[in-house]
Amino acid sequence: MTNEAERQNTRTMTKADLVETVYEKVGLSKKESADLVELLFETLKDMLANQGKVKLSGFGNFLVREKKSRPGRNPQTGAAIEIAARRVLSFKPSQVLKATLNGESAPAEE
């Protein structure tokens, strides 16, 4: 199968899918599962907004970086514009996650 064919056969996991997985594997009610997933996302958002870094062992690191303003161009008109300073989220996968994605045995966690 080509990469394009593989991409077409994959499906994006949604928040509802996560709730369903928690419901099936943990045994909480659907409402409790939904509340748990929502609490997890809210906690991650709050930590990133306030602390700027979240480390999930065996999964990876989320890091908020500050980008300075810079000159740019409007691609339609070619006019010079100022691209505003902003915060961007980056993700660096752990070695364990990288190994899992590549079908390798996971290295020992540090």
Distance separating alpha carbons of residues 78 and 69, to the nearest angstrom: 18
1-50: CATH topology: HU Protein; Chain A (4.10.520)
52-110: CATH topology: HU Protein; Chain A (4.10.520)
pLDDT digits (tens, 9 = 90+) for 17-68: 999 999 999 989 999 999 999 999 999 999 999 999 999 999 999 999 999 9
- Write down the pLDDT at residue 46: 95
Distance separating alpha carbons of residues 8 and 4, to the nearest angstrom: 6
Domain edges within the chain: 1-50, 52-110
pLDDT digits (tens, 9 = 90+) for 72-98: 999 999 999 999 999 999 999 999 999
If one counts every other C-beta atom within 10 angstroms of the C-beta of residue 94, the result is 19
- Write down the pLDDT at residue 2: 54
Give the residue among 1, 19, 18 at the shortest CA–CA distance from 10.
1
- Write down the pLDDT at residue 60: 96
Is the pLDDT at 3 greater than 80? The verdict is no
- Write down the pLDDT at residue 1: 45
User: Is the pTM value of this prediction over 0.75?
Assistant: no
Distance separating alpha carbons of residues 21 and 30, to the nearest angstrom: 10
